[in-house]
Chain A
Amino acid sequence: MSATVATGPALDVAVAARVGVLRRLARRPAAVAAAVAIALLLVLSLLATPIAGSPTAIDTREILAPPSSAHWLGTDDLGRDLLARTLAGGRLTLLVAFGAMAVSMLVGTIWGFVAAAAGRAVDEGLMRAADACLAIPPILLALILVAAFGSSTTTLALVSGLLLAPQAARIARSALMSELRSDYRLAARAVGAGPLRIVFGELLPNASPALIAQASLNVAWAIGIEASLSFLGLGVQPPDASWGTLLQDGYESLYRSIWLTVVPAVAIFVAILAFNTFGTQLQHALDPRQEER
Chain B
Amino acid sequence: MRGYVLRRLGAGIVLLALASLLVFALLRVVPGDPTITKLGGARNIDPAALAQLRQELGLDRSVVSQYLSWVGGLVQGDLGQSYFSQYAVTTLIGQRVVPTLELAALAFVLGLALAVPAALVSATRPRSIAARAVNGATAALMAAPPFLVGIAFVIVLGVQARLLPTRGYVPFVDDPLENLRLIAMPALTLGLAVAAPLVVLLRASLEEALRAPFIRTATGKGLTHRRVVLTHALPNALIPSLTYLGVTVGYLLGGVVVVEYVFGWPGLGSLVVDAVLKRDYAVLQSVVLLAVAIFVLVTFVTDLLYGVLDPRLRVGEGRA
Contact = CB atoms under 8 A, between A and B. Distances in A.
Classify A-B as touching or not with yes or no (CB < 8 A).
yes
A118 interface: no
Interface stretch (A3-11, A78-86, A93-101, A143-151): A143-151
B253 A140 contact: yes
Interface residues on B, range: 35 or more
B26 to A, nearest CB: 5
B254 A140 contact: yes
Nearest to B155: A258
A144 B166 CA distance: 28
A152 interface: no
A228 B258 CA distance: 7
Contact of A261 (B30, B143, B155, B284): B155
Interface stretch (A173-181, A189-197, A268-276): A268-276
A136 B276 contact: no
Contacts of B145: 224, 227-228, 268, 272
A233 B143 CA distance: 22
B27 interface: yes
A139 B254 contact: yes
A228 B155 contact: no
A146 B148 CA distance: 21
Given A148-B30, A232-B273, A268-B145, A255 B279 contact: no
A135 B258 contact: no
Contacts of A148: 26-27, 29-30
Interface in B268-320: 272-273, 275-277, 279, 281, 284, 288, 291-292, 295, 299
Interface in A237-261: 247, 251, 254-255, 258, 261
Nearest to B144: A269
A34 to B, nearest CB: 11
9 contacts: A139-B254, A139-B257, A140-B288, A143-B276, A144-B284, A147-B27, A148-B27, A231-B261, A232-B257
Given A143-B257, A251-B151, 18 more contacts: A137-B250, A140-B257, A140-B288, A140-B291, A145-B26, A147-B281, A147-B284, A148-B27, A227-B145, A231-B261, A232-B258, A258-B155, A268-B145, A269-B143, A269-B148, A273-B139, A276-B142, A277-B139
Interface of B: 15, 18-19, 23, 26-27, 29-30, 32, 139-140, 142-145, 147-148, 151-152, 154-155, 159-160, 166, 246, 250-251, 253-255, 257-258, 261-262, 272-273, 275-277, 279, 281, 284, 288, 291-292, 295, 299
